[in-house]
Amino acid sequence: MALQDVSGFQDTPMSHRWNTPASLSGDGGVPLHFFIPTPQSSVPFRCDNRHTSLSSLSTSSSLPTRRPFPLSHGTTTLAFVFQGGVIAAADTRASCSGLVACPTAQKILPIHSHLLVTTSGSGADCMLWERILAREIRLYQLRHGRRLSITGSAKLLSHMLTRHAVTDMDLTRSPVSDRCGPKLFYVCSDGTRLQGELFSVGSGSPYAYGVLDGEVRWSLNEEEAISLAREAVYRATHRDAYSGNCVDLFHITAQGYCRRDREDLREEYHRERERVLKRGKERGKKEKLIHV
């Protein structure tokens, strides 16, 4: 058999019992020596210098764990507050270096009716912490008979991520909206927690900020806010190769969240191209009239 050929037992007589001397030797009666690994060093039960051992242990455990390979990815997620609640938007492209791993990834994840998280970073880490956060919030509601506030949810997630900061995870989340009023938080994988009116995260966020910074205001109505969020994601995907495909939009109010239909950004590209051609034709007509 193949296993016998590899291990060198192909010529071993099989008629002997397993516990006879002949079965424990090879062809020439030479005993078979099996390798049993021995520990390099033993850990003593007592240590005279406790302080030194504890300090060295804490130093070794606090070293960051690096990935054995580079993990390149990108995304565009954004959220902002206005008089009608909170708008959250994100693209749907999940990339790994130069490969589009999934064109329909879900980057806005509902926790409950009044809490959403937008994720940016490693997809596996984001999904894991989304499930952990949903579990802890549900357990809190069952134990105390009331739902954890958005501020408390952001603080809970921040404390959980702080313990695992040495694992070098790439994770960013933004819990949004509350019954007491719209709230927006930015939580990073190192435990950083910020509250604000506008956040955009991901490789396409600089391009999204270029659209949002001058247009976001409290007096926006629902249609204006939705159109602005869609435009910001579109501009980011137009310039950022790691963002693209479709755009997801969520509107969160005191009654809960409402998800808009997923829109393919290729249609927006075609509409933008038609607008550019139309403006070019109008400009050409004006120049002809001026020359005449």
The structure tokens listed for 175 are 């819990």
b/e burial code for range 192-212 (CB count within 10 A of at least 16 → b): ebeeeebbbbbbbbebbbebb
Quote the CA–CA distance of 126 and 40 in Å, as a whole number.
39
* The Cα angle at residue 161 between residues 159 and 166, in degrees rounded to 5: 125
Is 171 inside a domain boundary? yes
The CATH number assigned to the domain holding 172 equals 3.60.20.10
Quote the CA–CA distance of 16 and 224 in Å, as a whole number.
87
Q: How many domains does the chain have?
A: 1
Is 281 inside a domain boundary? no
Is 136 inside a domain boundary? yes
β-pair partners for 102: 94
Is 5 inside a domain boundary? no
Is 92 inside a domain boundary? yes
Q: How far apart are the first and last CA of the chain?
A: 95
Looking at residue 161, its pLDDT comes to 87
| Residue 171 C-alpha from the chain's centroid | 5
Quote the CA–CA distance of 97 and 58 in Å, as a whole number.
35
β-pair partners for 233: none
Is 283 inside a domain boundary? no
Domain that holds residue 93: 84-272
Is 153 inside a domain boundary? yes
Q: What is the pLDDT tens value at each position of the chain, 292 positions in all?
A: 444 454 454 554 444 444 444 444 444 444 444 444 444 444 444 444 444 444 444 444 455 556 665 666 688 999 999 999 999 999 999 988 778 889 999 999 999 888 999 988 888 888 888 899 999 999 999 999 999 988 899 999 989 888 776 544 555 555 555 556 788 999 988 888 999 999 999 999 999 999 999 999 999 999 999 999 999 999 999 899 899 999 999 999 988 899 999 999 888 788 888 888 888 888 887 777 776 6
> Cβ-count burial of 154 within 10 angstroms (0-12 exposed, 13-18 middle, 19+ buried)?
buried
Quote the CA–CA distance of 150 and 4 in Å, as a whole number.
63
Is 34 inside a domain boundary? no
Q: Which residues are catalytic?
A: 75
